[in-house]
Amino acid sequence: MTPVKTYTPDQLRDFETRVAEEFNRGNIRAPVHLSDGSEEALIEIFSEVGDRDYVYCSWRSHYQCLLKGVPPEYLFDQIMAGKSISLNFPEYRIFSTAIVTGQLPIATGTALAISRAGLPEKVWCFLGDMTAETGMAQTCMRYAANHNLPITFVVEDNGVSVCTETRQVWGTPVPVWETHKYPNVRSFSYKSSYPHAGAGVRVQF
């Protein structure tokens, strides 16, 4: 598979640093969620993503948008306009949501439609580690696995939900996606140098 768009980790990080600087200067008047620390893992995953594939994301989707082929300056303009939390580019087949679990049933339904139509496209659904613990995630992963749908769920494991430790909440060091060993679920660990939202200055949480 030829990647849709290739970036080095430094190029991705530089984009995120630029966003962080604009946010901290007060030029972005809406939340931003930054993904630094996940560069290598996402570059590797996107080496398998085709341009006809569909990508669904959470509120944290800048790198996925770049790697799916959204032009950097177009993406940057959308972020400057306050759209970081819910970036959607149908023309590049990438969608995101600010609602925890919002992308999961839509991604699963897209995979079901592709399967019924006998098309070659695949679906890639990115989700946070706490989102992966929800009932909606379990329902979608189980349904997709049992029906062999063309979808891969990718858990972006930063260990936290905002400021809350995910594993501590659930009382186990083993996350649910490892317990079930669904064949269509992958994960990677990363640590961001930024807070959950924002970039360290001004309003953040």
Ligand X SMILES: Cc1ncc(C[n+]2csc(CCOP(=O)(O)OP(=O)(O)O)c2C)c(N)n1
Which residues bind to Mg ion, rule: CB under 5 A?
A: 128-129, 158, 160
125 binds ligand X (CB under 6 A): no
- DSSP state, residue 4: S
39 binds ligand X (CB under 6 A): no
**Nearest position to Mg ion, beta carbon:** 128
Alpha helices (runs of H) in the chain, residue ranges in sequence order:
9-24, 39-46, 62-67, 72-80, 103-117, 129-132, 135-146, 166-170, 176-180
162 binds ligand X (CB under 6 A): yes
At 20, is the secondary structure helix, strand, or coil? helix
100 binds ligand X (CB under 6 A): yes
CB of 50 to Mg ion, least distance (A): 27
Render the burial of 148-163: b for 16+ CB within 10 Å, e for the rest: ebbbbbbbbbbbbbee
- Identity of the amino acid at 75: L
From the list ligand X, Mg ion, none, partner contacted by residue 62 (C-beta under 5 to 8 A by kind): none
Based on the number of CB atoms within 10 Å of its own CB, is 53 exposed (0-12), middle (13-18) or buried (19 or more)? Answer: buried
Identity of the residue, 50 or 159, whose beta carbon is nearer to ligand X in the bound complex = 159
Applying CB under 6 A, the span of 52-60, 106-114, 116-124, 175-183 interacting with ligand X comes to: 52-60
In the complex, which residues of this chain contact ligand X (CB under 6 A)?
58-60, 98-100, 128-131, 156, 158, 160-162, 166, 196
